[in-house]
Structure 1
Amino acid sequence: MQKLRTYIEKVDYIYFSLIVLLGLVSLISLYQVQLLQGEFFVFQQIVWYVIGLGGCFAVSYFIDLDILKRLSLFVYLFFLVLLVGILVAPANISKEINNAYGWYSIGGFSFQPAESMKIGLILYLAQVISKGTDDSSSLKGEMLLVGKMTLITLIPVAVVMQFPDFGNAMVYFAIYGAMLLVSHVRIKTILLIFSVPLTVVLSLAITYFIATDFFLDHILGTLPSYQASRFYGWLQPEKYAISGYQLNQSIMAIGSGNVSGYDHLPHVPYAYSDLVFAVIGGVFGFVGASIVLMLYFMLIYKIVMISQRYHDSFGTLIGAGIAGFLTFQIFQNVGMSIGLMPVTGLGLPLISYGGSALVITLASLGLILNMRVNRMTFMFGSK
């Protein structure tokens, strides 16, 4: 009883309120989808939120981060086994959906292990970085740490690319990048590492603008047709009307919202999941979309502040990983809704309809709440 009383006293209610507010945005947005398109997801989303908030409380109340630190390798390996299991599971358990694998389907229950792998990756990277902090001051120690982090990240990336799941592969790299930034690796080494993907992306962009036909035929043409079609629809949605239909409808929906919103939106495929931001922008306009983005900014700010004040670098690194994957998914989802990024299967955190994605996200936010409740207080204040 004393532990519960202490928990109630130490909970960051602003942080928790932001989660609840984003949950309300989710339910309102999905209700609008029901009204506009006749697809029913609100009740299921309420169920997932109840389960997810229960998981958030359990993680923040029962989990000891010091023990979790020691078990991080086993957590990582457990989720990795679940991930690999998708490739070897029988067809009646691991079903192909939209030319891709990624879900265990048993009865009426579906689970996406790529989502849980985010937590496993964050925990193990945090343990490796915090353990290697003392040894990473030398060039040899620094290179060893970067090598370990890269290998730990590339293993799940290689697995999800077999599904294929390009969206979650990018999320794993975002986690890697965010946690690398707060490690003790020197900034010039970090810039050298980041220069490689930036050079590749810049080279591809230049090739597209200088030699468009060559890029479309000889670079995108090497991809499987269903993957290439997404890029065709993103780069030239007017020309590739079928591939770009989803993006065109999303842009029309957001554009129709103007400043304060509009209640007659065009049909947007997968508006309940991939493109829920199009519904927010269309129904609630620029004002509503801006408020949602502000709520996200405040949530990520709280994550960073709470984790930075935790007494162990392990907690700080976990906060960086969680903030990194949330920031990337928000940017990617909003970006693909307005044509800035290619369309992927990444939902808008805490708002898009989803079971395992929502539950895992809420559980990860429970880790931050755990740090706030269990932060040690020293003679001269909190650390």
Structure 2
Amino acid sequence: MKIQMDRQINTYLILFALISCLFIHSSSTNFGQYSGAFVVKQIIFYCIGFVLMYAVARLDLKQLKKISWPFYAVIVLLLIVLIFAPESIARPINHAKSWYQIKLIGTFQPSEFLKFAYLLVVAKLIESHNTKGQVQTYITDLWLLTKIAIVVIPPMLIVYKQPDTGMLMLYTAMLIPMIYFSGVKKQLLAIITLIPTVILSTIVIIYFRFNSFFTEKILGGLSPHQVSRINGWLHPFEFSDSAFQTKQGLLAIGTGLLGGKGYLRNNVYVPEKHTDFIFSTIAEETGFIGGAVVIVLFFLLLHRMVFHALHAKKQFTFLIAAGIIGLLAFQIFQNIGMTIGLLPVTGVTLPFLSYGGSSLLSNLMLIGLIHAIKLSYSSYMFQNTDEKEVRFGDEFTREKNAHSI
């Protein structure tokens, strides 16, 4: 079967691939910081990623639902095994035990692929719950939220212990829009949202009014690596070592001015410049203009994904698209925000640009889901079916309740 993939999305991905390889090469050639052939590996990752994207795009809705739980089980099992794996195959990197080291292949990060598993399983849970024909009440909505929590919280706790708080933030950014459009009563969501809002507000008040208590009790419960990053963000001049990466990244971006210094002329040393801080290299060498072009490309990609989400005919596919859009939008904002000192450093990569096999492969698999959604609603127009489904939250629930009455 010929797959009519979205040409605009593929064009953006090809541009991202070119930008990624160019600036990974530039980032890794200066200062004698690295000796690995990162560009060659990134090209290989992109080739594998495009194959995976095409394979996912070929899956129809029934196949996606069929693989959801087995894929989730495999990823969770890999996360559990990672806890007990010896350092010969799971060596900690930057204080985090998040990767398997595989000879001839490189590193493999299971938590990256948990995003794909979460999307399928949570969307399937919500759709299954909403198609049972039961009258919607606060009790049924709480039961749906409970089922989602049972699925997502245990693996998230494992990822938190690695520790990888950046990945937890990505999971949250992905799940929030899925839950919002699940049909759960907005009053209930408002009450649930109020809880973390109060907690965060309390932490902010404690930080400004009871700073010693904040330092001893709140920061004391975090790992030294997490405390170092938070201190470097909140007190960049007092904790210059912790804030070194952020200050250097900001310096690199600032010295790029409007038009940049030119390709291969980056002269500001930034640790991990080819991975988490790839945007600092782009802005240093191409200036404000080049950085703005990259941001516009991300905006165009997200805009195209929103287009496909709004045309999705099934709640299952609409929820998947909403989750992917929320995830990538937050990831872009978080990565660029931390390079300019607006947000704390979390180790979150810049999608499709940062060096990293697991991150790139998992994100291209997510784009494969967007292509699959496009194919599903394109073929839907030529199907004769009496099935009717409204995909937007409360409207879906109201129609379901009307039929049940």
TM-score range, shorter chain: over 0.9
What SS class does the counterpart of residue 251 from structure 1 fall into?
Answer: helix
Which TM-score applies when normalising by structure 1?
Answer: 0.92
Distance in 1, matches of 2:55 and 2:90, equals 29
Match of 1:374 among 354, 373, 376: 376
SS at structure 2 position matched to 1:362 = helix
**Partner residue, 1:133:** 130
Shift of 1:91: 2.7
- Report the alpha carbon displacement of residue 353 of structure 1 after superposing the two structures with TM: 0.1
1:380 Cα deviation from its structure 2 partner? 11
Superposed CA deviations along residues 37-59 of structure 1, whole A, max 9, x for unmatched, are 44442111111101111111111
2-side partners of 1:140 and 1:101: how far apart?
A: 39
Instruction: Find the aligned partners of 2:94 and 2:276 in 1 and give their Cα distance.
Output: 14
Other-structure match for 1:159: 158
Structure 1 residue 367 displacement after superposition: 1.1
Q: Which residue of 1 aligns with 2:70?
A: 74
Is 1:90 paired with 2:86? Answer: yes
2:290 to 288, 303, 310: 288
Measured after TM superposition, the shift of residue 359 of structure 1 is 0.8
How many Å separate the matches in 1 of 2:301 and 2:287? 22
Once the two structures are overlaid, the 10-residue window that deviates more, 350-359 or 168-177, is 168-177
Whole-Å separation in 2 of the counterparts to 1:379 and 1:71: 26
By how many angstroms is 1:223 displaced?
2.3
The 1:11–1:89 alpha-carbon spacing in structure 2 relative to 1, beyond 3 Å, is same
**Residue in 2 that maps onto 1:16:** 10
Question: SS state of the match for residue 110, structure 1?
Answer: strand
Q: Deviations over 1:209-268 (max 9, x none)?
A: 333344234422332222211111111111111111111101111111122212443100
AA of the residue aligned to 2:23: S
Amino acid at match of 1:150: A
Asked if the contact 2:309–2:321 (Cα under 8 Å) also holds between the matched residues in 1, the reply is yes
> Which residue matches 2:251?
252
Q: Name the residue aligned to 1:175.
A: 174
The aligned counterpart of 2:273 is 271
- The 5-angstrom pairing of residues 228-239 of structure 1 reads 228-239=227-238
Residues 249 and 266 in structure 1, CA contact (< 8 A), matched pair in contact too: yes
Q: Does 1:44 align with 2:41?
A: yes
Q: What is the alpha-carbon distance in structure 1 between the residues aligned to residue 152 and residue 188 of structure 2?
A: 18
**Identical-pair percentage:** 34
Aligned counterparts of 2:118 and 2:156: Cα–Cα separation in 1: 11
Shift of residue 86, structure 1, vs aligned partner: 0.5
Residue 136 to residue 60, structure 1, CA distance change in 2 (3 Å)? farther
Asked if structure 2 preserves the Cα contact closer than 8 Å seen for 1:136 and 1:142, the reply is no
1:255-306: per-residue Cα shift (whole Å, max 9, x none)?
1112221244310000111111111222222221111111111111222221
The verdict on how the C-alpha distance between 1:74 and 1:264 changes in structure 2, with shifts beyond 3 A counting, is closer
Instruction: Point out the more displaced range, 163-172 or 31-40.
Output: 31-40
Q: Which runs of 5+ in 2 are unaligned?
A: 390-405
2:102 to 100, 106, 113: 106
Pairwise CA distance, 1:379: 6.8
**Quick check: 1:249–1:268 contact (8 Å CA) kept in 2?**
yes
Matched, 1:194 2:193: yes
C-alpha distance in 2 between matches for 1:280 and 1:270: 14
Tell me, in whole angstroms, the C-alpha distance in 2 between the residues paired with 1:380 and 1:359. Answer: 33
**Residue 331 of structure 2 corresponds to residue 334 of structure 1:** no
Please say which of residues 236-245 and 24-33 is displaced more in the overlay: 24-33
Deviates more, 1:271-280 or 1:202-211: 202-211
Question: For 1:297, which of 296, 299, 318 is the aligned residue?
Answer: 299
User: Which residue in 2 is equivalent to 1:343?
Assistant: 345
Verify: 1:32 aligned to 2:21, yes or no: no
Q: State whether residues 253 and 281 of structure 1, in contact with CA within 8 Å, keep that contact through their aligned partners in structure 2.
A: yes
Query: How many Å separate the matches in 1 of 2:369 and 2:113?
Result: 14
C-alpha distance in 1 between matches for 2:383 and 2:54 = 30
Instruction: Spell out the pairing of 1:115-126 with structure 2 (5 A cutoff).
Output: 115-126=112-123
Query: In the TM superposition, what is the alpha-carbon distance from 1:136 to its structure 2 partner?
Result: 7.2
CA RMSD of aligned residues (A): 2.0
Residue 67 of structure 1 and its aligned partner are, at CA, apart by 2.1
Aligned residues of 1:136 and 1:184 also touching (Cα < 8 A): no
- Aligned partners of 1:149, 1:323: CA distance in 2, in Å? 19
Structure 1: unaligned runs, 5 residues or longer = none
Residues of 2 paired with 1:100 and 1:286: CA distance? Answer: 34
Separation in 2, partners of 1:176, 1:240: 34
Contact 1:149 1:176 in 2 (8 A): no
Aligned residues: 375
Moved more, 63-72 or 322-331: 63-72
Give the 3-state SS of the residue equivalent to 1:274 in structure 2.
coil
Contact kept in structure 1, 2:266 and 2:281, CA below 8 Å: no
Q: For 2:117 and 2:97, how far apart are their aligned partners in 1?
A: 20
Q: Distance in 2 between matches of 1:230 and 1:169?
A: 16
CA distance in 2, matches of 1:222, 1:131: 39
Give per-residue Cα distances to partners, 1:54-106, cap 9 Å, x unaligned: 11111112x22212213322221121111111112233112122221011112
Change (3 A) 1:137 1:107: same
Matched, 1:64 2:66: no
Task: Check the 8 A contact 2:5/2:371 in 1, yes or no.
Answer: yes
Distance (whole Å) between structure 2 residues aligned to residue 20 and residue 379 of structure 1: 31
Q: 1:136 to 1:96 in 2, by over 3 A?
A: farther
